[in-house]
Amino acid sequence: MEHLLDNPIYHALTSAHAHFAKGVEGVKYYQKDIAAFAGLKDNSAENLQTLYKISEADSLFVVFSKAPLTIPALWTLHMQIDMFQLVYEGVNMPESTNGGLTDLDQSHVTEMSALVELTKPGPFLAKTIELGNYIGIFAENQLIAMAGHRFFPTPYREVSAVCTHPDHLGKGYALKILQEQIKRILNRAEIPFLHVKNDNLGAIKLYQKLGFKIRTEMTAYVIRKEQGGEPENVSK
């Protein structure tokens, strides 16, 4: 039986994030500027063709898959990222560490985008902040570390965009932010999870120290629709 987290994007877009979803039955994707992710009920060639047919010209999507995925020739495969998916299995609530943390809002998006561009933790678009609970640390009025939430396949909540400015590594900022994120998720009776590149050994070690366990391998496929006509009508 498939676990919710075997297909986290699709299950997020058909549950807690349904209000962010576009698409048709079995083929969903996030609204433009929220996130560049598509979730398919199954990663079949037929569903990938449907995604191509209903999406706008020049659309770029990230699709997750546990099993190796063959991308139909009508898509251009730009990148393939091998990852681990980790789920929180800690037994104790993290200690209170929210001193020095700032809740980030729309007024911080320019700084957040700059930090993401520098550190490359994953996609962050103009309205990604609407996925919620972004917190950060500032030093001398500069945003130097942050993390927020992304996929929400109820009751699992993903911690995402974990990043620290290169000039401030090794100071425990990521640990502090992650402890607060875990605490906030657990306080809502939800389960934290996250994804990380499988060669990011430092991050994996930190996540495991906090109580995350590797659940499965996952691959992200970055695909672009290089050509195409007008999209068909899709649900909002």
List, for residues 2-58, the tens digit of each pLDDT value. Answer: 899 999 999 999 999 999 999 999 999 999 999 999 999 999 999 999 999 999 999
- Distance, in Å, from the CA atom of 223 to the CA atom of 217, rounded to the nearest integer, reads 20
- Distance, in Å, from the CA atom of 108 to the CA atom of 170, rounded to the nearest integer, reads 24
- Distance, in Å, from the CA atom of 230 to the CA atom of 236, rounded to the nearest integer, reads 16
**Given a cut of 50, is residue 236 above it in pLDDT?**
no
CATH number for the domain formed by residue range(s) 86-215: 3.40.630.30
- Distance, in Å, from the CA atom of 60 to the CA atom of 223, rounded to the nearest integer, reads 6
**Given a cut of 80, is residue 166 above it in pLDDT?**
yes
- Distance, in Å, from the CA atom of 214 to the CA atom of 208, rounded to the nearest integer, reads 8
What is the model's pTM? 0.92
Taking only the tens place, the pLDDT of each residue in 170-205 is 999 999 999 999 999 999 999 999 999 999 999 999
The percent of residues above 90 in pLDDT, for the chain, comes to 86
Bridge partners of residue 192, in order along the sequence: 157
pLDDT number for residue 234:
46
Confidence of residue 98 (pLDDT cuts 50, 70, 90): low
What CATH superfamily classification does 4-83+219-224 receive?
Answer: Gcn5-related N-acetyltransferase (GNAT) (3.40.630.30)
- Distance, in Å, from the CA atom of 150 to the CA atom of 13, rounded to the nearest integer, reads 11
**Given a cut of 70, is residue 219 above it in pLDDT?**
yes
Burial 148-186 (b: 16+ CB within 10 A, else e): bbbbbbeebbbbbbbbbbeeeeeeebbbbbbbbbbbbbb
pLDDT number for residue 230:
45
Confidence of residue 95 (pLDDT cuts 50, 70, 90): confident
Question: Which of these, 230, 236, 235, lies nearest to 55 by C-alpha position?
Answer: 230
Other C-beta atoms within 10 Å of 138: how many?
16
Tokens 């672009």 correspond to 224
Judge whether 123 and 36 are in contact, CB under 8 Å.
Answer: yes
Chain region(s) in the chain for CATH 3.40.630.30: 4-83+219-224, 86-215
Question: Which of these, 63, 80, 88, lies nearest to 158 by C-alpha position?
Answer: 88
Question: Which of these, 64, 148, 60, 65, lies nearest to 104 by C-alpha position?
Answer: 148
